Amino acid sequence: MAACASAPAWSTTQHSRAATHKHAHKAPSKAMRQVSGPHFGSTPQVIALAHELSEQHKLPIDWVRQQLSDARQLPGVPKLVMPPPVSVPKNWRAYRERFIEPRRIDAGVQFWQTHDSALQRAQQTYGVPAEMIVGIIGVETFYGQHKGNYHVLDALTTLALNFPQAHPRAAERQAFFKSELGHFLVQMRQQAPGTAPITGSFAGAMGWPQFMPSSWAKFAVDFDGDGRIDLLNSPVDAIGSVANYFKAFGWQTGMPTHYPVKFDEARLDKPSLLAPDILPSFSVSNFMAKGAVLDSDAQQHTGPLALVELFNGDDAPSYVAGTENFYVVTRYNWSSYYALAVIELGQAVKAAMPLNAQTSTAR
């Protein structure tokens, strides 16, 4: 789950581990060079998978077998989906610095100015603030600069057939990539003959917003009105699709994503506050009764809250009180570190915008 390369996205969510990933992320960095191996060929394993996906997605069996046989093995990809070593400490401040930095903020301002009308329309249509959409696209692909250079068919076939069995959730994750491969084959079947191979991340995420194939099928929209959905080349389609994704996962217009939180150590019950992880589970009164100290705005919040803990290496952790909208951001990528980076990048870009652009999207 990356724009095109990998750094840990540090999923912290216990609740979401049983669900199905919509994206396949790690933080983007410079483009990675893929080393292609041999074609998979017509092995019994390939033939069995082709039959399975052909039946599931009502695709011609001979065509599916041909695509999978022609796909190339990518020997470096299985290593990239392995979790980072447990010895690598999570560090929110270091993670944040990768995204909330001058070059990315400047690119975000340019992106916002170029697509201001589409961002306003998405905000009005879906109720999702422009800065959230800008934050997502900035973290995912550096505003289209890092969309990935792996052939998606090769990457997904490699992960469907050669997923590393040393992964702690190998069976679940391999099933996920088989499913994504099926959705991608449906998209390939709809392409015009002779279309160039689609490229994306090592995990098969594609385009400006890095949608996995199943998310493309469910949530992508034709927001530029040209009669087709193109997340690879249309930033306007990406803007509408990100907003639609957030709305589909329950974004509530006008609700903050999080509030600052402090602690009353004399009555703090941090284990209970952290037990639900980032799933909002506590009313404001219960949250405060367990030793959380909230400011006046947070005390007026009417929905549930979660205590979000972000480690800072050897230093003390950072904490925020996450709302249901914070949880929605983590549906894009199961990581509180990722979610807060998206939120803060969007805020930083908005703060850097000329005043008239800020007020136009506030209407």
119 and 361 in contact (C-beta within 8 Å)?
yes
Render pLDDT for 124-149 as a digit per residue (tens, 0 to 9): 999 999 999 999 999 999 999 999 99
Confidence of residue 359 (pLDDT cuts 50, 70, 90): low
Render pLDDT for 283-293 as a digit per residue (tens, 0 to 9): 999 999 999 99
Which H or E run includes 319? strand 315-322
Q: Is 140 a catalytic residue?
A: yes
How would you write 122-169 as a 3-class SS string?
Answer: HHHHHCCCHHHHHHHHHHHHCCCCCCCCEEHHHHHHHHHHCCCCCCCC
Residue 29 has pLDDT above 70, yes or no: no
Q: What is the dihedral of CA 110, 26, 128, 94, to 10 degrees?
A: -70
Q: Which domains does the chain have, with CATH numbers?
A: 15-88+145-228 (1.10.8.350), 258-322 (no CATH)
**Cα of 50 vs its chain's centroid, Å:** 28
pTM of the model: 0.90
Confidence of residue 362 (pLDDT cuts 50, 70, 90): low
Active-site annotation holder among 140, 180, 309, 324? 140
